């Protein structure tokens, strides 16, 4: 399935339902953080575009994957 080979960003403007849907459909290893900066919603701070991910009921390993490791793998960063 083609959709499972793609990567998806977490821009959901704080929507836990949207993040959970993406997580269930594609897995944490295909979700990367995103912000839509500089086009943020009036009610949303830049930091909050990432902070909400830590409050969603996901395993900590998946939160770490989304926030740190998915982009490293996608863009082939070695972390150093």
Taking 60 as the threshold, does the pLDDT of residue 80 lie above it?
no
Cα 6 to Cα 57: distance, rounded to the nearest angstrom: 23
Query: What values do phi and psi take at 8, rounded to 5?
Result: -130, 140
What pLDDT digit, counting tens, does each position of 24-43 carry?
A: 999 999 999 988 777 766 77
Residues in CB range of 25: below 8 A, 6 or more apart: 3
Long-range contacts of 3-9 (CB under 8 A, 24+ apart): 4/30, 6/30, 7/31, 7/32, 7/70, 7/74, 8/32, 9/33, 9/34
Cα 19 to Cα 25: distance, rounded to the nearest angstrom: 10
- Per domain, the residue ranges of the chain are 2-74
pTM of the model: 0.82
Angle at 74 between CA 73 and CA 80, to 5 degrees: 45
């Amino acid at each position: 399935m083609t959709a499972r080979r793609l990567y998806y960003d977490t821009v959901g403007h704080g929507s836990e339902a949207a993040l959970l849907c993406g997580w269930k459909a594609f897995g944490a290893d295909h979700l990367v953080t995103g912000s839509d900066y500089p086009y943020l919603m009036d009610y949303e701070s830049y930091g909050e575009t990432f902070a909400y991910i830590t409050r969603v009921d996901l395993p900590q390993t998946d939160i770490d994957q989304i926030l740190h490791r998915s982009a490293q793998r996608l863009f082939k960063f070695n972390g150093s």
